């Protein structure tokens, strides 16, 4: 444990929803829900205006619509969120070389390692400057927690929400933690929390009073010892700059249960390809393929297969996922499918056996086609394919678009062959709404616009976090002009 609160935890406020409100002036101050927009989707983030109605993350969208029917329900725009996240992480990197991202909107920073803080005053100053920089660069707000450990810094940022800063002075940990529920501690989930409740322990103070021996008896040595130390405010985990991903996965929830086995198989193939795309984008490979199936009755089955070596070959992943699907009964209907790869590595050891098998199949198919062409009259002649009916263009709520005449806007809704677009930009007043045919050639998908208009000069040079600092006495820093 540190004697100064030099570990910082940043958590952006309602990140996805706040980004959407910043991008869409007409939604500012109104309830916004980002997530799956279908009846079976789940809420990724809800704005604070929506949270007042009881909407929260991981809630089914159908339930959220009942609680807050007048909210704007939007599809996630991860290209925008990643862009903003990169700006935030760059600001954190200027504070310290030790930045531990936890997600797009959350990270730990070791201020001491960056030389920007060594006591409470300098840590608070660094935290306030960071919040100001984030607001200036992204237009969004973030909450900051400062403490002598990662656990307490995260608790402090939760207390600071929204748009605040809380600093926990070293030596006050036990007094602060005592009345808090046991679920506030890392590693205490619903099952452990219920187990402790049955033993009469509902607050952190109860854990500290029970003692280490009692917690070991209840939870086992490793978990019991760790929990007792955390209940006393001790957390020795360092800020780690590099966090290795343990798995890569994708999943989809379907509007209507899938009963057709061929359709289920095709969805598994599609998910396998998406999973490999993410795997390759991360420059990784993996040796264990995992299939997740949630059936009509909400029962969830997971199957896995470990390959001979790490791979990023889509054919290998597709075949493994297909074999796993054969072991699952889907006759009652499937509401969710997922494909993942674990056991990640930085290199690929090609599965020669799988590749050879794929080559043999391709050769056999070619040979069969040739034999058919030789024995069946007209089999080798090209056949004109029947023209496919044109697919109706699909527009999703929240999607960025551009109109040849009216400029940039976003999809407010679509249906019955029509699409409604609100034309506005992040830096404009709330815009007008216009309706078009879904196949109007003047409307095209567009990339997200920046939330904040870049100044004429280099933002990086004007940012307080990037100014060179010199020390003048303990805990005091002077910004050079």
Highest mean pLDDT (candidates 61-75, 276-290, 361-375, 446-460)? 61-75
Which positions are annotated as active-site residues? 106
Confidence at 347, pLDDT banded by 50, 70, 90: low
- The string of pLDDT tens digits covering residues 159-206 is 999 999 999 998 888 888 999 999 988 888 888 889 899 999 999 999
Q: For residues 172 and 176, give the distance between their C-alpha atoms in angstroms, rounded to a whole number.
A: 6
> Any residues with CB less than 8 A from the CB of 456 and at least 6 apart, and which?
none
Helix (H, G, I), strand (E, B) or coil at 423: strand
- Whole-number average pLDDT of the chain: 84
Over its C-alpha atoms, the chain yields an Rg (Å, rounded) of: 27
Q: For residues 403 and 432, give the distance between their C-alpha atoms in angstroms, rounded to a whole number.
A: 13
What is the structure's pLDDT at 455?
Answer: 64
C-alpha count within 13 angstroms, C-beta hemisphere, residue 471: 10
> Any residues with CB less than 8 A from the CB of 226 and at least 6 apart, and which?
187
Res 39 pLDDT > 80: no
Sign (positive or negative) of CA dihedral 372, 375, 377, 381: positive
Please tell me whether the overall predicted TM-score, pTM, comes out greater than 0.75 for this model.
no
Give how far Cα 342 sits from Cα of 241, 284, 304, 368, Å.
22, 10, 10, 37
- The string of pLDDT tens digits covering residues 399-431 is 999 999 999 999 999 888 999 999 999 999 999
Range from 34-48, 315-329, 465-479 carrying the lowest mean pLDDT? 465-479
> Region 310-335: what's the mean pLDDT?
91
Confidence at 243, pLDDT banded by 50, 70, 90: low
């Amino acid at each position: 444990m540190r004697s100064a609160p030099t570990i910082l935890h940043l958590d952006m406020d309602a990140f996805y929803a706040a980004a959407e409100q910043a991008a869409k002036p007409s939604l500012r101050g109104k309830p916004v829900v980002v997530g799956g927009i279908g009846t079976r989707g789940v809420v990724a983030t809800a704005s604070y205006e929506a949270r007042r109605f009881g909407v929260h993350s991981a809630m089914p969208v159908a339930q959220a619509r009942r609680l807050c029917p007048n909210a704007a329900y939007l599809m996630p725009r991860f290209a925008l969120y990643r862009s903003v996240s990169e700006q935030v992480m760059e600001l954190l990197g200027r504070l310290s070389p030790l930045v531990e991202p936890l997600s797009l909107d959350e990270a730990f920073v070791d201020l001491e390692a960056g030389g920007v803080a060594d006591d409470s005053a300098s840590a608070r100053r660094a935290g306030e400057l960071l919040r100001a920089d984030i607001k200036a660069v992204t237009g969004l707000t973030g909450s900051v927690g400062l403490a002598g450990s990662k656990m307490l810094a995260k608790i402090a940022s939760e207390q600071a929400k929204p748009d605040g800063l809380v600093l926990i002075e070293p030596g006050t940990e036990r007094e602060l933690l005592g009345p808090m529920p046991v679920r506030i501690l890392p590693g205490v989930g619903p099952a452990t929390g219920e187990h402790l409740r049955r033993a009469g322990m509902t607050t952190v103070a109860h854990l500290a009073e029970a003692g280490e021996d009692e917690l070991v008896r209840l939870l086992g040595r490793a978990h019991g010892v760790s929990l007792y130390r955390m209940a006393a405010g001790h957390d020795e985990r360092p800020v780690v700059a590099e966090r290795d991903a343990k798995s890569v996965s994708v999943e989809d929830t379907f509007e209507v249960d899938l009963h057709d086995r061929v359709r289920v198989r095709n969805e598994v193939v599609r998910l396998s390809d998406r999973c490999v795309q993410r795997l390759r984008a991360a420059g990784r490979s993996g040796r264990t393929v995992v299939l997740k199936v949630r059936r009509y009755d909400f029962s969830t089955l997971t199957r896995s297969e470990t390959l001979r070596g790490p791979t990023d070959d889509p054919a290998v992943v597709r075949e493994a996922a297909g074999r796993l699907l054969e072991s699952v009964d889907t006759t009652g209907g499937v509401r969710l499918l997922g494909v993942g790869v674990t056991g990640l590595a930085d290199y690929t050891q090609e599965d020669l056996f799988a590749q050879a098998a794929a080559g043999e199949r391709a050769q056999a198919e070619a040979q069969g086609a040739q034999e058919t062409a030789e024995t069946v009259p007209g089999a080798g002649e090209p056949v004109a394919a029947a023209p496919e009916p044109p697919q109706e263009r699909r527009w999703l709520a929240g999607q960025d678009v551009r109109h040849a005449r009216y400029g940039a806007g976003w999809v407010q809704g679509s249906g019955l062959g029509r699409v409604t677009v609100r034309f506005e930009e992040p830096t404009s007043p709330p815009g007008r709404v216009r309706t078009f045919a879904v196949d109007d050639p003047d409307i095209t998908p567009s990339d997200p616009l920046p939330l904040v208009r870049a100044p004429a000069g280099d933002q990086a040079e004007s940012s307080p976090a990037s100014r060179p600092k010199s020390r003048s006495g303990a805990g005091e820093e002077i910004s050079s002009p």
